[in-house]
Amino acid sequence: MANLAILESWTEYERGWGRRPDGYTLHINKAALKRFCEARFIRNEQICARLEISPSDEYSAPGGNPKVVMVTDEVYERLQVEIGIWVNKADKERLGIRELVVNPDAKPTRFPWDPAKEGA
């Protein structure tokens, strides 16, 4: 059976510089993605307080369009114990992360469960 995970893209926003891609995170399910985002927000506020800058001056935000991907056994095992793993484009290839591609010409298929909603 395939190891399915959630892949979320991130964008970094920095006052005066604009925005740029900030990589991806992998999660075992959407609930883990939500916990990761909450922890990331708290950590960003703590860092900004230490640097005496406003949290709105520099932050990363999720893209809001998580995708279901297939991952290797090794990555899946890590996701069992970590709420998220940061990856970049090169990591996606090296770690064997494969996005599930939908063929627009294919007949609709019904699954007994929705992997995108699992754990939500």
Positions of E strands within the chain: 3-14, 18-27, 58-62, 67-71, 85-87, 98-99
The confidence score (pLDDT) of residue 27 equals: 93
The confidence score (pLDDT) of residue 111 equals: 46
The confidence score (pLDDT) of residue 120 equals: 46
At 17-62, the pLDDT tens digits run 888 888 899 999 999 998 888 887 766 666 666 666 665 667 788 8
The confidence score (pLDDT) of residue 42 equals: 65
The confidence score (pLDDT) of residue 94 equals: 82
Tell me the whole-structure pTM to 2 decimals. Answer: 0.72
At 61-97, the pLDDT tens digits run 888 889 999 998 999 999 999 989 989 888 887 877 8
Domain-wise residue ranges, the chain: 3-99
User: CB neighbours (10 Å) of residue 70?
Assistant: 17
Check residues 119 and 77 and name the one with the higher pLDDT.
Answer: 77
CA dist list (Å): 91 to 2, 21, 75, 103 = 19, 15, 11, 25
Helix (H, G, I), strand (E, B) or coil at 32: helix
